[in-house]
Amino acid sequence: MPDERFVYAGSPLRLFVYNPPRMKKFIVLVIVFLAASFVYLSLGEIENIVQTLERGNLWFVLFAVLIQSIWFINTGLTYLALYRMLGMDASIQRMTVMSAAANFVNVIAPSAGMGGMAVFISSAARNDLPAGKVTVVNMLFLFLDYIAFLCVLIVGLVILTRRHDLDASEISASIIMVSIAIALGFLLYLGSKSAEALGNALARMAKIVNRITRFFIRRDYLSETRAHEFAREMAEDLQALPGQYRSLLMPFAHALTGKALLMVVLAISFLTFEVPFTAAIIIGGFSIAYLFLIVSPTPSGIGVVEGIMPLALSSLNVPWSQAVIVTLAYRGITFWFPLGFGAAAFRRLNQKA
């Protein structure tokens, strides 16, 4: 068990290690407060979603929930494959619960994925696993998730282009999405080549963040020195990746499967209200919805996806009123249901810790 007093001072990872009981309880209370506030502010949307689902075929709704539950397990399998690739063992149950809890934290306390990563690193500290390895796992998970979605997005953009429905906002969002994937891939590449190069890149990123945050808190938020130390922790595992490319095929297949499962949920949302659809509508509508979920400034695209997705579906010849109904059903099953499951998973992890 690592020293409970040890904290990465001045680093965004200072909450990622195992914290003393009082600090841990405080963090949990903050998360609970943020979750309660988030739900309270979203009561209107939740009520609309419940009323919408009540109008649909209950059996199809339950089937969609089942598919979404399989998506949870598939996400856990993705993490499990990455853990085993880096020589760490875990159970599918543990990975499923942790990934659900991480998703919950990322929505409630958005921090570019760092909050969700904290769930895994905190668990690593409690189980004597290297924090560097766990961080690499999370970076690889995000990278593979983005690449898998880009495969779907390309098809979706082709569909919209052929229908002359591709506009500037979708092109701009796609560019942002590609830029994020390239930046993450570049960091992984740097780490696989040189710990010093990765450390320099992370230090420059920390310097930019410090310039912004110094205006508000009058001090550096991130430690540039710690960036180099953390890069050295990650470099050994990243440098081993070039010889394990074939091992990435399984987690990548799981990432693609995750996107396919979400598209199945969208198709079932159409069936729930007897709205006609085609494969092009499913792929195109899902591509735009998931794209804005990623690039939206709001947590998991809340409020943004609900506005963009009906527009995308209506541009694919789905009547506006039906597009709104399908969107509400889809978001209820793929956002609010996982959020509730994630809250339960987060509570379970903290009870066991």
Q: Alpha carbon of 145 to those of 16, 171, 305: distances in Å?
A: 22, 20, 19
15-24, 49-58, 295-304 — which is least confidently predicted?
15-24
Mean pLDDT (the chain) is: 78
In the chain, the percentage of residues whose pLDDT exceeds 70 is: 71
Q: How far is CA 141 from CA 80, 116, 137, 342, in A?
A: 10, 12, 6, 18
Query: At residue 15, what are phi and psi to the nearest 5 degrees?
Result: -100, 5
Percent pLDDT > 90 in the chain is 26
Q: Where are the domains of the chain?
A: 12-352
For residue 81, which amino acid is it? A
Residue 50's pLDDT band (cuts 50, 70, 90): confident
> Is pLDDT above 60 for 10?
no
Q: Over 70: is that where the pLDDT of 30 sits?
A: no
Nearest alpha-carbon partner for 141 in 250, 268, 263: 250
Q: Nearest CA to 53 among 313, 241, 331?
A: 331
pLDDT digits (tens, 9 = 90+) for 109-155: 665 556 677 788 777 777 777 777 888 888 889 889 989 999 998 98
Q: Is the pLDDT of residue 240 over 90?
A: no
Q: Position 182: which residue type?
A: I
